[in-house]
Amino acid sequence: MTDTTTHKQQGAHGGEVFRIARETGTALNDIADFSSNANSLCRDITEEILFSNMQGAYSDYNHYPDTWSSELAAAIAAHESVSQQEIVVGHGSTETIFLTFQQIRPKRVLLVGPMFSEYAKACSVFAEEYDLLTCSSGTCFVPNSADFANSEKYDLVVLCSPNNPATITYPNMREIIQAIQSPYMLIDSTYREFMHGTPEYDATRTTQYREWCNQNTSIITMHSFTKFFYCTGVRLGYALSDPDTVSKLKQGKMPWTVTASAQKSGLNFLLNIERYRSRLPQMRTYRAMFTEEVRSTNVFAEDCIFSGVNFLFCKLKNPEHGAQFYEFLLTKSILVRLCDNIPGTERGFIRMQVKTPEEWETLITALHDWAASLNVSTR
């Protein structure tokens, strides 16, 4: 890598390889990106789906796309065991997040951290005020149902489970949902598909949430194709809710935001979902191996190494050195996610994606080098 003076700050999101490559003069493929949570262990499946048949995804380039993504919505309805009237498809889940805030116009919002930064941004645009409920590493980032005793004063409560960046799937979600008394509850379920084959998968189903929910609260769940299907550039997501709420969201939706190619890709992703799911056991094996390798470097606090979904969330032993750590890895063409600017996150946490042992070898070596540079004894 060349000069690092222009990119010392962690950007708004992970996966900012284009910015890093541009600002450093480094070839895109020379950057080892551990900052994105996309399912890169399924790269070959996604490339086959997107590129093996050039008459497929882009064959409708000469027509306006279906604004409501009707064919894809039907496939999602079957996948989620809901009706099409309970689905709105968007240009990634980010569109459906902002669409929800735009149409509901909540005056007061409660965000349960750690929390994806776009929710705070949506609050700043559409809400009058918002509060942040910070869950600490001491509680494994899990809120207590008692934390929602005054939730009726909020118009919207937002949670994320499985949590990004904390990796945790709330074990007490039933109690949390039953405790929330706000008119609307939004649950970010972006990483749910990574739980397939575990008890948590069924427990985090939208239809299950509805059974637990109070009668006067409408639940909206956010979903993304981006992470599980390794298609961050395709931009495709959807929201689920009751028909009345979905109708309200659709009233404010811009036309044609989901391209025809994205809609066709989504159909093919769902048709091939079992192929993606078949890679989960290998991913979980790699995750356990990666966790132990990371632990062995002695860079992170022993009681603050969290592992779940398809990434790790680890607190530096010297959390005040987060920016220097981020820069140090950049000099070795390694990109991680410094989480200091994620709402509700303690200082010094680093998020790292699970990849193959061959890919993480360079990162582990760099972590040992960092430890040595701080005169930290390694095991």
Q: What average pLDDT does the segment 155-172 reach?
A: 97
Say what the pLDDT of residue 58 is.
60
Cα 172 to Cα 203: distance, rounded to the nearest angstrom? 10
pLDDT in tens, 86-138: 999 999 999 999 999 999 999 999 999 999 999 999 999 999 999 999 999 99
Identify the residue with better confidence: 329 or 55. Answer: 329
Sheet holding 87-90, edge to edge: 87-90, 237-240, 218-224, 184-188, 156-160, 108-113, 129-134
pLDDT in tens, 177-228: 999 999 999 999 999 999 999 999 999 999 999 999 999 999 999 999 999 9
Asked if residue 61 has pLDDT above 90, the reply is no
Identify the residue with better confidence: 61 or 123. Answer: 123
Which runs of consecutive H residues, i.e. helices, occur in 130-195? 173-179
Cα torsion angle, 179, 180, 183, 188, sign: negative
Identify the residue with better confidence: 242 or 6. Answer: 242
- Report the helix count and the strand count for the chain, using DSSP H and E: 14, 13
pTM exceeds 0.85 = yes
Cα 343 to Cα 12: distance, rounded to the nearest angstrom? 11
pLDDT in tens, 273-330: 999 999 999 999 999 999 999 999 999 999 999 999 999 999 999 999 999 999 999 9
Q: What average pLDDT does the segment 8-30 reach?
A: 77
Say what the pLDDT of residue 1 is.
39
Asked if residue 7 has pLDDT above 70, the reply is no
Q: What average pLDDT does the segment 328-340 reach?
A: 95
pLDDT confidence bin for 24, thresholds 50/70/90: confident
Half-sphere exposure of 89 (CA within 13 A, CB side): 28
Q: What average pLDDT does the segment 150-159 reach?
A: 98
What domains sit in the chain, N to C, each tagged with a CATH number?
17-45+278-373 (3.90.1150.10), 56-272 (3.40.640.10)
Q: What average pLDDT does the segment 27-41 reach?
A: 92
pLDDT confidence bin for 23, thresholds 50/70/90: confident
pLDDT confidence bin for 375, thresholds 50/70/90: low
H or E segment at 335? strand 334-335
H or E segment at 300? strand 300-308
Flag the least confident range among 58-62, 73-77, 153-157, 326-330. 58-62
Cα 221 to Cα 235: distance, rounded to the nearest angstrom? 17
Could you write out the DSSP letters of every residue in 202-262?
A: HHT-HHHHHHHS-TT-EEEEEEESTTTTT-TTT--EEEE--HHHHHHHHHTPPTT-S-HHH
pLDDT in tens, 240-288: 999 999 999 999 999 999 999 999 999 999 999 999 999 999 999 999 9
Say what the pLDDT of residue 189 is.
98
Identify the residue with better confidence: 378 or 253. Answer: 253
Query: Distance from CA of residue 366 to its chain's centroid?
Result: 26
Flag the least confident range among 5-14, 30-39, 72-81, 202-211. 5-14
Say what the pLDDT of residue 60 is.
74
